[in-house]
Structure 1
Amino acid sequence: MKLKQTLSAITLSLMAAASYAGEVEVLHWWTSGGEAKSVSVLKGLMEEQGNSWKDFAIAGGGGESAMTVLKTRAVSGNPPSAAQIKGHDIQEWGRLGFLTDLSDVAREENWDSVLPEVVTKVMKYDGDYVAVPVNVHRVNWLWVNPDVLKKSGAEVPTTLNEFFKVADKVKAAGFIPLAHGGQPWQDITLFEAVALAVLGAEDYQKAFVNLDMDVLSGEGMTEVFIQFRKMRDYIDPKYRGRSWNSATSMVINGEAAMQIMGDWAKGEFAAAGKTPGKDYLCVSAPGTQGQFTYNIDSFAFFKLSEEADRKAQKDLARTILDKDFQEIFNLNKGSIPVRLDMDMSRFDKCALDSMATFKSTSTNGGLVPSVSQGLATTSYVQAAIFDVVTNFFNAKDPNPEKTARKLARAVKAAM
Structure 2
Amino acid sequence: MDIYNTILAGASVLALTASAQATELEVTHWWTSGGEAAAVAEFAKAFDATGNKWVDGAIAGGGGTARPIMISRITGGDPMAATQFNHGQQALELVEAGLMLDLTDVAEAEGWKDVIFPQSLLDSCTVDGRIYCAPVNIHSPEWLWLSNKAFEEAGVPVPTNWGEFVAAAPALEAAGKIPLALGNQPWQSNLAFGAMQIAVAGLDTWKAVNVDKNMDVAAGPEYAKVFEAAANARKLAAKSTVQDWNQATNLVITDQAGGQIMGDWAQGEFAVAGKVAGQDYTCLPGLGVNAYLSTGGDAFYFPKIDDPEIEKAQKELAAMMVSKQVQVAFNLKKGSLPIRGDVDLAAANDCMKKGLEILASGNLVPTGDMVWSPDIVKQNEDLMVEFWKTDMAPEDAHAQWVNNLKSGS
- TM-score bin (small chain): over 0.9
Indicate the residue corresponding to 2:138 in structure 1.
136
Q: Per-residue deviation at 1:228?
A: 0.5
- CA deviation vs aligned residue, 1:364-406 (integer Å, no higher than 9, x gap): xx422333xx34421101011112222122222x222232121
Indicate the residue corresponding to 2:9 in structure 1.
9
- CA deviation vs aligned residue, 1:318-363 (integer Å, no higher than 9, x gap): 1101111111101100111110011121111211110110221x2x
The letter of the residue matching 1:44 is K
Taking the aligned partners of 2:218 and 2:93, their CA distance within structure 1 comes to: 25
Quick check: 1:181 aligned with 2:183?
yes
Contact 1:135–1:296, Cα closer than 8 Å, also in 2: yes
Indicate the residue corresponding to 2:336 in structure 1.
335
Contact 2:148–2:281, Cα closer than 8 Å, also in 1: yes
Q: Which moved more, 1:197-206 or 1:342-351?
A: 197-206
Quick check: 1:74 aligned with 2:74?
yes
Taking the aligned partners of 2:308 and 2:353, their CA distance within structure 1 comes to: 41
- CA deviation vs aligned residue, 1:200-259 (integer Å, no higher than 9, x gap): 1222123234433212222222111110010122124342x6111011111111111111
Quick check: 1:230 aligned with 2:232?
yes
Indicate the residue corresponding to 2:265 in structure 1.
264
The letter of the residue matching 1:170 is L
Quick check: 1:367 aligned with 2:364?
yes
Quick check: 1:407 aligned with 2:409?
no
Taking the aligned partners of 2:4 and 2:155, their CA distance within structure 1 comes to: 45
The letter of the residue matching 2:145 is W
Query: SS of the residue aligned with 1:85?
Result: strand
Indicate the residue corresponding to 2:289 in structure 1.
288
Q: Alignment identity in percent?
A: 36
Indicate the residue corresponding to 1:316 in structure 2.
317
Taking the aligned partners of 1:108 and 1:17, their CA distance within structure 2 comes to: 14
Query: SS of the residue aligned with 2:295?
Result: strand
The letter of the residue matching 2:230 is F
Query: SS of the residue aligned with 1:286?
Result: helix
Quick check: 1:65 aligned with 2:65?
yes
List aligned pairs for 1:208-247, cutoff 5 A: 208-239=210-241, 242-247=243-248
- CA deviation vs aligned residue, 1:259-279 (integer Å, no higher than 9, x gap): 111110000000011111111
Taking the aligned partners of 2:273 and 2:163, their CA distance within structure 1 comes to: 31
- CA deviation vs aligned residue, 1:130-187 (integer Å, no higher than 9, x gap): 1001111122111111111112122233444322111122112221111111222100
Contact 1:81–1:302, Cα closer than 8 Å, also in 2: yes
Indicate the residue corresponding to 1:391 in structure 2.
386
Contact 1:163–1:286, Cα closer than 8 Å, also in 2: no
Taking the aligned partners of 2:161 and 2:294, their CA distance within structure 1 comes to: 17
Query: Judging changes above 3 Å, is the alpha-carbon distance between structure 1 residues 134 and 192 closer, same or farther for their aligned structure 2 residues?
Result: same
Q: Per-residue deviation at 1:89?
A: 1.4
Query: SS of the residue aligned with 2:407?
Result: helix
Query: SS of the residue aligned with 2:139?
Result: strand
User: RMSD across aligned C-alpha pairs, in angstroms?
Assistant: 1.9
Q: Which moved more, 1:82-91 or 1:220-229?
A: 82-91
- CA deviation vs aligned residue, 1:30-58 (integer Å, no higher than 9, x gap): 01001111111211222221212221111
Taking the aligned partners of 2:217 and 2:186, their CA distance within structure 1 comes to: 22
Q: Per-residue deviation at 1:13?
A: 1.3
Taking the aligned partners of 1:291 and 1:4, their CA distance within structure 2 comes to: 31
Q: TM-score, normalised by structure 1?
A: 0.93
Contact 1:33–1:268, Cα closer than 8 Å, also in 2: yes
Q: Per-residue deviation at 1:285?
A: 4.1
Contact 1:90–1:131, Cα closer than 8 Å, also in 2: no
Query: SS of the residue aligned with 2:57?
Result: strand
The letter of the residue matching 1:367 is L
Q: TM-score, normalised by structure 2?
A: 0.94
Query: Judging changes above 3 Å, is the alpha-carbon distance between structure 1 residues 388 and 209 closer, same or farther for their aligned structure 2 residues?
Result: farther
Query: SS of the residue aligned with 2:251?
Result: helix
Query: SS of the residue aligned with 1:11?
Result: helix
The letter of the residue matching 2:366 is P
Query: SS of the residue aligned with 1:254?
Result: coil
Query: SS of the residue aligned with 2:341?
Result: coil
Taking the aligned partners of 1:405 and 1:39, their CA distance within structure 2 comes to: 41
Indicate the residue corresponding to 2:193 in structure 1.
191
Contact 2:183–2:244, Cα closer than 8 Å, also in 1: yes
Contact 1:139–1:294, Cα closer than 8 Å, also in 2: no
Query: Judging changes above 3 Å, is the alpha-carbon distance between structure 1 residues 288 and 300 closer, same or farther for their aligned structure 2 residues?
Result: farther
Q: Which moved more, 1:326-335 or 1:69-78?
A: 69-78
Q: Per-residue deviation at 1:297?
A: 1.0
Taking the aligned partners of 2:69 and 2:212, their CA distance within structure 1 comes to: 30
Taking the aligned partners of 2:286 and 2:110, their CA distance within structure 1 comes to: 36
Q: Which residue, out of 364, 373, 378, partners 1:378?
A: 373
Contact 2:121–2:295, Cα closer than 8 Å, also in 1: no
Contact 2:152–2:158, Cα closer than 8 Å, also in 1: no
Indicate the residue corresponding to 2:127 in structure 1.
125
Query: SS of the residue aligned with 1:137?
Result: coil
Taking the aligned partners of 2:289 and 2:163, their CA distance within structure 1 comes to: 13
Indicate the residue corresponding to 1:37 in structure 2.
38
The letter of the residue matching 1:218 is G
Q: Per-residue deviation at 1:287?
A: 5.0
Taking the aligned partners of 1:81 and 1:235, their CA distance within structure 2 comes to: 40
Query: SS of the residue aligned with 1:277?
Result: coil
Contact 2:12–2:49, Cα closer than 8 Å, also in 1: no
Gapped regions of structure 1 (runs ≥ 5)? none
Contact 2:178–2:239, Cα closer than 8 Å, also in 1: no
Taking the aligned partners of 1:273 and 1:176, their CA distance within structure 2 comes to: 22
Indicate the residue corresponding to 2:169 in structure 1.
167
Q: Where in structure 1 do 4 or more consecutive aligned residues deviate above 4 Å?
A: none
Query: Judging changes above 3 Å, is the alpha-carbon distance between structure 1 residues 336 and 287 closer, same or farther for their aligned structure 2 residues?
Result: closer
Q: Per-residue deviation at 1:286?
A: 3.1
